Structure 1
């Protein structure tokens, strides 16, 4: 009897083993690890170069001009604007209405000239949804409102504790008007108007066409700076930008001073001579969807903030919604910094994809101050206009703006940058500088 059942037990055990083997084999063949697709994974956010910034640190006016009793005063120094802007946090705006959809330069010039007011100038269109962090709105804000000039008229404040504010967009002609309630009339005069009387005198240069140019009336002493360029770690950028840094392969092209990094989907090209990098996410580039200005600014700002990519004083400078592009320009001591493309870059350029960065072009150096600075003179705004008018092929009526800034150059010493102050003018979509002349011990620069 026992032998009879032993054979049956063996058969049963064999069947169980075969069944388990088939089940295990099928499980191995059909197993799919629970990974997110490579292109959908986000870069690690724990890689940080510099401290994070607030949006107000990056979106700033470049000029403030006061008009009072036919006198113009102003500044390009943000430190002189800062205290006044901080007072504006206490104000409240209401009754926003559309005045015009096609306000031309003459209309905006007239608003600035006809009353006691002050104007904030921004380098590019600022969506009101971004700016309301500075000037809160009581009522519902208009959709798609953006501006590059903010004009505050205080002519009626003695009667009502209210200002009239105009938001002018010289790019699309939109002009909005609203009321601003100040917290204290006395404080407004004390901290805004009285403080403005210490600002330098400006001139208002009206032209046959185009916006009026507002520039310092006198020449000014400005520092010329010498900096060492300290390189940020390329490995940190690799770890911040690539989804899986350990899978990234690199190659070196010594002939062209380039290093290439790729994971098969994204690529980062590093120019070790210019100290710049160009990161491209191929999948994101193929999926660009038009995004509104507010989202473009917030998305690119947050992207740079996540890895602490503010390796200098970079500020919002330009927007191109047709290509989802935002540019942040390097500033030093409140002056914009430009250079020749053959030397390096002084801007961060971002292109936003559907849900993430598509392209990221930037310098990876940091400026380290050295005690080799000197004081030089930069000419008055009126003299700058005269010299710009003399440049070949330049019609002063075609110049959109004139600003002081620094031109970055190199010398015979490695890793040394010289920042020379000069005048820049914006024409045909580009900034150009007046020709530089050698400077030494207070000699004028920026004009021939």
Structure 2
């Protein structure tokens, strides 16, 4: 009997030892960061709200072609833009055929055929576009990045056409099956009949023939502290040391990662040189990892749009453009606010740049402003075109900080062929 009791006690002691060993190995503070994947970022504290990638993918503008060389433009979050895009999200596109751009008469389609043109700036990978639209690509189309979608009607034809333009330049994919009728397309086009008329300029961008009304506003703001960002970005903030630079910025480092903060501009840059080396780029995974990282390290202080996914000179770069209402906020060298920039390598963030400022919900001031249109706008643009070719034009907000908060001033933003963006002063 005693021997049996001893055996039972021994078994219990062994089991107890195994349980304690398990907790020591897997439940000590900080141990989760070791056993989890590098791409699974841990949230240090509550800061800004989180979002999902689907809410960040949408066109930067929607051009409505009404035939007879009549056009108008809808911008994100406007009534007709939201209505049309929400309907297109539920339509399916299938049986894609690869075509050469040379085979299409784009000028005729633009001027004569009623249709909807969605533009995506530097482009969006098809694998990400699938998250917001019912696209069924083959393996060839799946690997593309799309910067335009053009859905239009042709006279005396019973089905709508849907073209997806590759960022490669001369490659277009046409959907053999599109869940849209000619009547659907025409109904969407008719929303533009009473809107501001726009005219194509130099075959590249559109100019409104009347003034564009916008709201200048001042917003209450606050800023994340350096201590908050340290706790968010370092596994153990207590071991970081501070280095003050001559230009007024401060650097905090744990000997591996670094956090640079410019207090005057309320701007930060986080660097992790231990990021994985370059390999095959999968922009779908890179963008998802970027969204996850921002969710856990600062959050989203407003509305953002995926503006660049490996489409620039740096193929590992992901950029999110901030919007206020319908229009983007321009980042300027003298006031770095309006974008979140990340550089990733196989799902691991190597650099992370953003403003520490975030908006509060209260507006302290509002004032209506009119941006010039028509001949007055053309005269302003003529002075710029001598410096560099203008490739795009859009309304935007220029941010400045003052004692009352964040002032957002309406401006025309002019994108140049060189890649730079100029502000058009009235």
Deviation sequence 1:50-91 (CA, Å, 0-9, x none): 332232321221211111231212222433311111112331
Secondary structure class of the residue paired with 2:289: helix
CA contact (8 A) 2:162 2:178 kept: no
CA contact (8 A) 2:115 2:186 kept: no
Structure 2 CA distance for partners of 1:334 and 1:349, relative to 1, 3 Å: same
2:87 corresponds in structure 1 to 87
2:307 corresponds in structure 1 to 317
CA contact (8 A) 2:59 2:120 kept: yes
Structure-2-length-normalised TM-score: 0.81
Secondary structure class of the residue paired with 1:282: coil
Shift of 1:108: 4.0
Shift of 1:195: 2.8
Structure 2 CA distance for partners of 1:72 and 1:323, relative to 1, 3 Å: closer
Number of positions where the alignment pairs a residue of Structure 1 with one of Structure 2:
390
Equivalent runs, 1:342-381 vs 2, <5 Å: 342-368=334-360, 369-380=362-373
1:181 corresponds in structure 2 to 178
Shift of 1:222: 1.3
Structure 2 CA distance for partners of 1:33 and 1:298, relative to 1, 3 Å: closer
Structure 2 CA distance for partners of 1:217 and 1:290, relative to 1, 3 Å: farther
2:378 corresponds in structure 1 to 385
Deviation sequence 1:113-153 (CA, Å, 0-9, x none): 34121101112211111112232134635232221111001
Structure 2 CA distance for partners of 1:198 and 1:180, relative to 1, 3 Å: farther
Secondary structure class of the residue paired with 1:387: helix
Shift of 1:247: 3.3
Q: Which moved more, 1:211-220 or 1:386-395?
A: 386-395
Structure 2 CA distance for partners of 1:382 and 1:319, relative to 1, 3 Å: farther
1:128 corresponds in structure 2 to 126
Secondary structure class of the residue paired with 1:49: coil
CA contact (8 A) 1:39 1:283 kept: no
Q: Are 1:58 and 2:56 counterparts?
A: yes
1:429 corresponds in structure 2 to 419
Equivalent runs, 1:29-428 vs 2, <5 Å: 43-45=41-43, 47-70=45-68, 71-79=70-78, 80-100=80-100, 103=102, 107-138=105-136, 140=138, 142-155=141-154, 160=158, 162-169=159-166, 172-182=169-179, 189-190=186-187, 192-205=188-201, 207=202, 211-251=203-243, 256-284=247-275, 287-307=277-297, 309-320=299-310, 322-368=314-360, 369-380=362-373, 382-391=375-384, 393-395=386-388, 398-411=389-402, 413=403, 416-427=405-416, 428=418
Shift of 1:265: 0.9
Secondary structure class of the residue paired with 1:283: coil
Give the greater-gyration-radius structure (CA). Answer: 1
Secondary structure class of the residue paired with 1:130: helix
CA contact (8 A) 1:103 1:175 kept: no
Structure 2 CA distance for partners of 1:338 and 1:237, relative to 1, 3 Å: same
CA contact (8 A) 2:286 2:345 kept: no
Shift of 1:182: 3.1
Structure-1-length-normalised TM-score: 0.77
Shift of 1:96: 0.4
CA contact (8 A) 1:58 1:316 kept: yes
Q: CA RMSD in A?
A: 3.0
Structure 2 CA distance for partners of 1:333 and 1:121, relative to 1, 3 Å: same
Shift of 1:390: 1.2
Shift of 1:342: 2.3
Shift of 1:187: 5.8
Structure 2 CA distance for partners of 1:139 and 1:173, relative to 1, 3 Å: closer
Structure 1 residue runs without a partner (length 5+): 1-31, 436-446
Secondary structure class of the residue paired with 1:420: strand
Shift of 1:38: 10
Structure 2 CA distance for partners of 1:171 and 1:378, relative to 1, 3 Å: farther
Structure 2 CA distance for partners of 1:383 and 1:288, relative to 1, 3 Å: farther
Shift of 1:43: 4.2
CA contact (8 A) 1:94 1:137 kept: yes
Secondary structure class of the residue paired with 1:391: helix
Q: Distance in 1 between matches of 2:401 and 2:295?
A: 29
Structure 2 residue runs without a partner (length 5+): 1-23
